[in-house]
């Protein structure tokens, strides 16, 4: 016979409240709870504010595709990126719709890390609204001091502040349309003001603690957040016996070493090919007229040596430096292109005026060791000019 369920809620990183076997609610540290859980199966009650519930039309008949299809089916109604969310699916469809609970990965991991640090291993994490008693035709409301939990259907519900409860209930009633409830069952306080002539209200036992109300639910738990990578099966390896774990790890280590070496070899080969392709592309961009590429690195170094002045100046970089200095003072001129061949640098310029270009020529002539020629043409009202720079003959 399986051990009974033990419900508990996290109140803070080190405090919790739980339902004792005698039905009383106890509050204390997680260490105290861990000391009392040897004879029960723990069920963590997840706060409804952090979870949204969605009955989704079945994406396909194959259950194997549901986990992949559901996030995209809900993408338009969720505010957060689906990559940051965990989607828990119901065990079976209900009237053609699949129950889905959505929670942020960060929230779920935080709960599990808190439990693990205290030595707690819940067998299930269940959305709070789905633990309220419910039957067709009823809505259930659990009132606490500052918050409320509402169940509006077999797989629907929410949690909210008391200040916004009336507004959210009114909105839920409007969305329900013809499916509005005949009765509103309330635990922990008086009926909300929205209860009217068409909605019967029933006050339940107001002295019951929330965990005691949750424990009265007769319907079995069918929507567990511990699915996929969070399932207990996913962590089964950590529960193996020591000798089995050691043997498995040894075999796994050997397998991983072999796979890693093969993977690294293939990855390095791919990186080498990518680098070679990238170097060839760089060389083609640097030397547009190149047609034969054997060793782009060596070819580019040789090309740079050709462009670099060797002693007396006159190379590409030297001409570019000498000609570029005066150009920086002429904001009305734009360099449209340049070319270098056999010690001659040609600059194609747009803009300016004959007077501006004459001043540019005068400044270029003042550069020591530089001979400049400026040719100007006008095409469709635009001034185009070509500046030729060479090393001045001594």
Domain locations in the chain?
Answer: 5-239, 241-295, 308-391
As beta bridge partners, residue 338 has 347
Looking at residue 293, what DSSP letter applies? -
Please report how the helices 316-327 and 354-365 are oriented relative to each other, as an axis angle in degrees rounded to 10.
130
pLDDT class for 63, splitting at 50, 70, 90? Answer: confident
What is the mean pLDDT of the segment spanning 87-105?
90
- What topology does CATH give the domain 5-239? Nucleotidyltransferase; domain 5 (3.30.420)
Q: Which residues contact 213 (CB under 8 A, 6 or more apart)?
A: 132, 133, 142, 187, 188, 204
| Per-residue exposure over 54-92, b if at least 16 CB sit within 10 Å of its own CB, e if not | bbbeeeeeeeeebeeebbebbeeeeeeeeeebbbbbbee
pLDDT digits (tens, 9 = 90+) for 6-52: 899 999 999 999 998 888 999 999 999 988 877 788 999 999 999 99
Structure-block tokens of residue 268: 């390095």
pLDDT in tens, 131-145: 999 989 999 999 998
Instruction: Check pLDDT > 60 for residue 197.
Output: no
CATH class of 308-391: alpha beta
Burial string for 158-180 (b: 16+ CB within 10 Å, else e) reads: bbbeeeebeeebeebbeeeeeee
Distance CA 107, CA 202 (A): 34
């Amino acid at each position: 016979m399986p051990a009974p369920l033990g419900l508990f809620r996290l109140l803070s990183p080190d405090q919790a409240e739980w339902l004792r076997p005698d039905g009383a609610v106890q509050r204390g540290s997680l260490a105290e709870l861990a000391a009392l859980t040897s004879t029960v199966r723990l069920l963590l009650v997840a706060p409804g504010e952090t979870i949204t519930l969605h009955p989704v039309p079945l994406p396909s008949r194959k259950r194997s595709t549901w986990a992949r299809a559901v996030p995209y089916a809900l993408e338009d109604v969720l505010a957060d990126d689906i990559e940051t969310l965990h989607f828990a699916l119901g065990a079976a469809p209900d009237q053609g719709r699949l129950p889905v609970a959505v929670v942020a990965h960060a929230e779920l991991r935080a709960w599990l890390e808190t439990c693990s640090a205290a030595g707690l291993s819940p067998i299930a994490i269940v959305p709070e609204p789905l633990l309220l008693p419910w039957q067709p035709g009823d809505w259930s409301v659990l009132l606490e001091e500052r918050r409320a939990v509402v169940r509006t259907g077999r797989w629907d519900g929410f949690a909210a502040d008391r200040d916004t409860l009336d507004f959210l209930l009114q909105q839920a009633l409007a969305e329900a349309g013809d499916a509005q409830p005949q009765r509103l069952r309330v635990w922990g306080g008086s009926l909300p003001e929205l209860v009217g002539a068409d909605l019967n209200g029933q006050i339940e036992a107001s002295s019951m603690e929330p965990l005691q109300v949750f424990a009265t639910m007769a319907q079995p738990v069918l929507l567990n957040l511990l699915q996929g990578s969070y399932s207990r099966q996913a962590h089964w390896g950590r529960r193996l016996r020591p000798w089995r774990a050691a043997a498995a790890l040894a075999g796994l280590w050997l397998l991983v070493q072999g796979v890693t070496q093969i993977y690294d070899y293939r990855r390095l080969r791919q990186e080498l090919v990518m680098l070679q392709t990238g170097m060839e592309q760089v060389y083609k961009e640097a030397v547009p007229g190149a047609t034969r590429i054997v060793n782009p690195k060596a070819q580019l170094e040789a090309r740079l040596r050709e462009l670099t002045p060797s002693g007396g100046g006159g190379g590409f970089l030297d001409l570019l430096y000498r000609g570029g200095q005066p150009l920086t003072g002429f904001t009305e001129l734009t360099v449209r292109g340049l070319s270098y061949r056999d010690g001659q640098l040609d600059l194609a310029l747009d803009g300016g005026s004959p007077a501006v270009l004459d001043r540019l020529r005068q400044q270029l002539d003042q550069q020591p060791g530089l001979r400049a020629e400026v040719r100007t043409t006008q095409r469709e009202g635009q001034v185009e000019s070509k500046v030729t720079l060479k090393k001045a003959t001594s």
